[in-house]
Structure 1
Amino acid sequence: MRRHLAGVLAAPLLVGTALAAAPAEGEAEGGLPQLNTETYASQVFWLLIAFLVLYLLMSRIFLPRLGGMIEERRQRVADDFDKAAEFKRQAEEAEAEYKRALSDAKARASKIAQETRDEIDAEIRAMQADTDQKLEAEIAAAEARIEETSAQAASAVREAARETTRAVVMALIDEQPSDDAVDAALKSAEGARS
């Protein structure tokens, strides 16, 4: 680095010395001071000092700071990318967990719905069986009442037939028939109808 610095500093010195040694033709005294060949040596000297100071400031202070800032920025960007990748991974895991929880919830809801349907079906079957038993009991009671009413009606009809037969016999022959004779006549009349 020192050789490079010496080469950079020596080049303008050589150019300045060459220009100072050979003044341009027709150069007037009242021209620009930068083009005055008498002051070339001091101009080159101060140019070298200014260049050296600027070079040292740039190489020792500004460039290392800029490099540090660039590296810090690069590191921050890399960290941000790493964090973004981590957040993406966490988001994907959360999405997978959400989908898993959703499918589990659907499965549980389906299972609960099926269990509820089964319970309701069982209750309906039990109620239907209970209703069927009650209806059968009511039908049996109604049939028993019908048979009892039918038996009472048949008994009442027989009794009315006995009374009517007695009254007819009494009216025809003026004699009271016996209960056995009335029953025999009714049985023979029932046999003739069948």
Structure 2
Amino acid sequence: MPQLNPEFYISQLFWLAVFFSFLFIFLWKVSLPRIANVLEKRQNKINENLSTAKELQAQAQKIEKNINTQINNAKQETDDEIKKTILSLQEDVSLQLSSIDSELEKKISESELEIIKNRDDQLNKINDEIANITKLALSKVSDLNLSDNDIKDAIKSKGALN
């Protein structure tokens, strides 16, 4: 091959220039535009994905904010309902306690009156028995016959059970 003959450098330089010119034109017109196109598409895809990710992140933050607001509202509503229920139960309990207190007061006063009545009845019976015993004792010990009224008056004046 005469173009690769090392004796003549001019032919080698010529073919070198032709080959590099052809390589330069091929790269400039065919390969590099394709590579640039692929790089541009890749960069556009990356930018598009980044903008989509930012939009999705903004939407996620908005949804999270809405959810947190709804949770806080639900907590506030349940707290209000619990407070209302507690107040209602406290009112019911206080009403029941007051009715129970009034019933107990009534029963206590009735029992007190009954105890006083029974005590007075028993004291009267005891006084009557004392009068009978005194009358019997006086009739056995002496021949005095005193009336029941005189004996009861004497017992009352001496401080019998009253």
Tell me if both proteins adopt one fold, taking TM over 0.5 as the criterion: yes
- Shorter-chain TM-score category? 0.7 to 0.9
> Where do 5+ consecutive residues of structure 1 fail to align?
1-31
2:8 paired residue number: 36
Q: Does residue 83 of the first structure (1) align with residue 34 of the second (2)?
A: no
Q: How does 1:1-194 map to 2 (within 5 A)?
A: 33-36=5-8, 40=11, 44=14, 47-48=17-18, 50-190=19-159
Give the ranges of 4+ consecutive aligned residues of structure 1 lying more than 6 Å apart after TM superposition.
none
The unaligned stretches of length 5 or more in structure 2 are none
CA drift at 1:164: 2.0
Change (3 A) 1:151 1:73: same
Secondary structure at the aligned position of 2:23 is classed as helix
* Deviation of the 1:62 alpha carbon: 1.6
Q: Which string of whole-angstrom CA distances, capped at 9 and with x for unpartnered residues, describes residues 123-170 of structure 1?
A: 331332133123213312320221121121111122112202311331
In 2, the alpha carbon distance for the partners of 1:78 and 1:169 equals 132
The residue identity in structure 1 corresponding to 2:133 is: T
Larger radius of gyration, structure 1 or 2? 1
Q: Within 1, Cα distance between the matches of 2:7 and 2:85? A: 106
% identical aligned pairs? 18
TM-score by length of 2: 0.76
Higher relative contact order (CA 8 A, sep 6+): 2
